[in-house]
């Protein structure tokens, strides 16, 4: 189990919806994605670093190459 990648074991189809359902059950606000960094904007290898916040608290972050796909992190 220690050598497995989490996405091999659990890979939800709509992770943001799942997170928002959990937050709603806890009477919290929905997760809010924010662009926190961007590298290589005018190159072929652009990387966006997006974070999720809830009630002004950091939940987590991830990187993606297409800004429109960042909500799926």
DSSP bridge partners of 52: 33, 60
| Domain boundaries 6-72, CATH class | alpha beta
Domain ranges of the chain: 6-72
- pTM for the complete prediction? 0.74
In angstroms, the first-to-last Cα distance of the chain is: 22
Q: What's the rounded mean pLDDT across residues 9-32? A: 91
Largest separation between any pair of C-alpha atoms in the chain: 42
In sequence order, the 6+-apart residues with CB closer than 8 A to the CB of 21 are none
Mean of the per-residue pLDDT values of the chain? 87
| 27-43 residue pLDDT tens | 999 999 999 999 988 88
């Amino acid at each position: 189990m220690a050598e497995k990648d989490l996405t091999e074991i659990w890979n939800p189809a709509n992770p943001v919806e799942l997170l928002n359902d959990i937050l709603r059950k806890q009477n919290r606000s929905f997760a809010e994605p924010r662009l926190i960094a961007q590298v290589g904007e005018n190159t072929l290898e652009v990387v966006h670093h997006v974070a999720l916040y809830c009630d002004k608290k950091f939940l987590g972050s991830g990187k993606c190459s297409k800004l429109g796909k960042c909500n799926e992190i």
